[in-house]
Amino acid sequence: MPRRLALGAGLVAVLTYVMASPAAAQELPEGAASQVILDNIWVLIATVLVFFMQAGFALVEAGLTRAKSVGNIMMKNLMDCMAGVLAFLFVGYSIGFGAEALGGFFSWDGFGVPGIDDVAAAPAALNLSPATFFFFQAAFAATAATIVSGAMAERTKFKSYFIYSLVITSLIYPVILSWTWGGGWLSQLDIPFSDFAGSTIVHATGGWAAMMGAIILGPRIGKYGPDGRPRVIQGHSIVLVVLGALILFIGWFGFNPGSELAADALVPQLAVKTLVAGCAGAVIAMLVNWALDRKPDVSMAANGLLAGLVSVTAPVGAIETWAAVVIGAVGGALVVLSVRFFDRRGVDDPVGAISVHGVCGTWGTLSIAFFATFDDAFLGREDAGLLYGGGIGQLSTQALFILVHFVFVTVTTGLLFLAIKKTVGLRVSEEEELAGLDVMEHGAPGYSTEQGQGTGLLPSAGVPVVERV
């Protein structure tokens, strides 16, 4: 039974691609649906759920930041998907999934996606047509890109963010792809890396990029007191936060089960494990936060849900249900502690992106070394986890994978943000930041409760319109 896109040399014998082949098609009795069609349709539906996550990210980030920059954060989320997909179509896909190039440092197949318009093209993966496979991978690329906007919210120039999002989807994320799911060196180790649906490949890429962005930008004005102690800047709408988290929850049922890249019996397993890990993350984050702060913070519970989901994304194919609960629960506890840690270290991440995607993504990837018992295509064997007697081999590989990824992402995105800072500039002026980015960067406030005759005389009660300081 096919699990995940098999990678590297000779890992998998691709099933005969009957879909467009008249001869093969005749082998199917009249009226029998082909597995190929079903695989493609299922992955397509899963991808739609993954694209829906864009709305989830946008809402969580908007809700956790201030009303005066809400248009800006929505725009960034919109555009890193829109521009990111085009960048991935023209350049990134080829780097991620092309033939080996540059001595294996990354892949290259020329611009664009080979066979994308050809309904009879050889499958790009398992039974998936090039179009389906691109569709799915583009949604993942957009996810990796969009994580960063939250951590850099309320102070980043739109133009600079736009440049960043083009570079990450056309270059940085694709190189990571080429090393891993693209079949590159990390998948060719004796004990290959394992990351079923991208705790590290997708989420930690976004998470560590977010960390570099937040550090290089510096905190929002007023976030730290003169004594350096963190101050509270409340998000403007908990409704948006929870709605966004629930949309992400839904989307994750495309993200993880869809990563099977086939419609098979493992898919429901993946859904259940995704579900229970998310639930455990939310409940434990709430309880830990309750214990620490005497009250259950709503936004931390939402972060906990996402933490559980990110954590289980890597191990989801290899673990039992009880382990999914444990992994999600640890993710939920971690995110509460990690948000405090970064907040107190002077890293101003209004939405907790570094903690949710970077820290929990890393935890999830590491957790495979302990809890893996089922074979998914990346592991190539059963009982790889320490708890099942798999030895420390997988732990070493996972650690290496995490480390290499961390160094690569922090260095490349660090250089990218510094380069942007030196050239077009990364941060808006103090005046703009105080007034909010909406009017200054986009020409209109995000909210308006103007009652007049359309002349803008009493706009945006309670929402700052720009102020010339």
Three-class secondary structure of residue 436 per DSSP: coil
The region of 91-99, 111-119, 410-418, 445-453 touching other proteins under the rule CB under 8 A is: 445-453
Helix axes 298-313, 360-371, angle to 10 degrees: 50
Pick between residue 29 and residue 462 the one whose CB is nearest to other proteins.
Answer: 462
* Residue 427 partner contact from a copy of itself, other proteins, none using kind-dependent CB cut-offs of 5 to 8 Å: none
Measured from the CB atom, the residue of 204 and 356 that comes closer to a copy of itself is 356
Residues in 183-222 that interact with other proteins by CB under 8 A: 222
Q: Please give the C-alpha separations between residue 469 and each of 182, 287, 426, 430, 435, in angstroms, as whole numbers.
A: 51, 44, 21, 9, 9
Residue 289 binds other proteins, judged by CB under 8 A: yes
430 lies in the binding site for other proteins (CB under 8 A) = no
Distances (CA, A) of 180 to 142, 171, 220: 18, 15, 36
For 420-441, give one letter per residue: b (16+ CB within 10 A) or e: beeeeebbbeeebbbbbbbbbb
d(CA 1, CA 50): 24
Find which of a copy of itself, other proteins, none residue 340 binds, CB within 5 to 8 Å per kind: other proteins
The verdict on 465 binding other proteins (CB under 8 A) reads: yes
Distance between first and last Cα of the chain: 65
- Residue 466, binding choice from a copy of itself, other proteins, none, Cβ under 5 to 8 Å by partner class: other proteins
Residue 457: name its binding partner from a copy of itself, other proteins, none (Cβ under 5 to 8 Å by kind).
other proteins
Within 320-446, residue ranges assigned H as helices are 321-344, 353, 360-371, 393-422, 430-435, 437-442
d(CA 88, CA 173): 9
User: Choosing among a copy of itself, other proteins, none, which partner's interface includes residue 352 (Cβ < 5 to 8 Å by kind)?
Assistant: other proteins
Minimum gap (Å) between residue 278 Cβ and a copy of itself: 7
Amino acid residing at 445: P
Tokens of 160: 């600079």
Please give the Cα distance from 106 to 204 (Å, whole number).
19
Longest pairwise C-alpha distance within the chain: 76
Closest CA to 257 of 243, 271, 238: 271
* 171 interacts with, out of other proteins, a copy of itself, none, CB within 5 to 8 A per kind: none
Q: Does 461 bind other proteins (CB under 8 A)?
A: yes
Q: Which of a copy of itself, other proteins, none does residue 58 bind to, with CB < 5 to 8 Å depending on kind?
A: a copy of itself
226 near other proteins, rule: CB under 8 A: no
Beta bridge partners of 180: none
Binder among 352, 361, 364, 390 for other proteins (CB under 8 A): 352
The least distance separating other proteins from the CB of residue 81, rounded to whole angstroms, comes to 22
Residues 6 or more apart whose CB falls under 8 angstroms from that of 411 comprise none
**Shortest spacing between CB 192 and a copy of itself, in angstroms:** 22
Shortest Å distance, C-beta 430 to other proteins: 11
The footprint of other proteins on this chain (CB under 8 A) covers a number of residues equal to 40
CB of 442 to other proteins, least distance (A): 9
Q: How far apart are CA 430 and CA 231, in angstroms?
A: 18
Instruction: Write the single-letter amino acid at 461.
Output: A
Partner touching 343 among other proteins, a copy of itself, none, CB below 5 to 8 Å by kind? other proteins
Interaction partner, residue 45 (a copy of itself, other proteins, none; CB < 5-8 Å by kind): a copy of itself
* 228 touches other proteins by CB under 8 A: no
Q: How far is the CB of 219 from other proteins (least distance, A)?
A: 12
Judged by the rule CB under 8 A, the positions of this chain that interact with other proteins are 222, 230-232, 234, 289, 292-295, 297, 299-300, 336, 339-340, 343, 352, 434, 439, 443-444, 451-453, 455-469
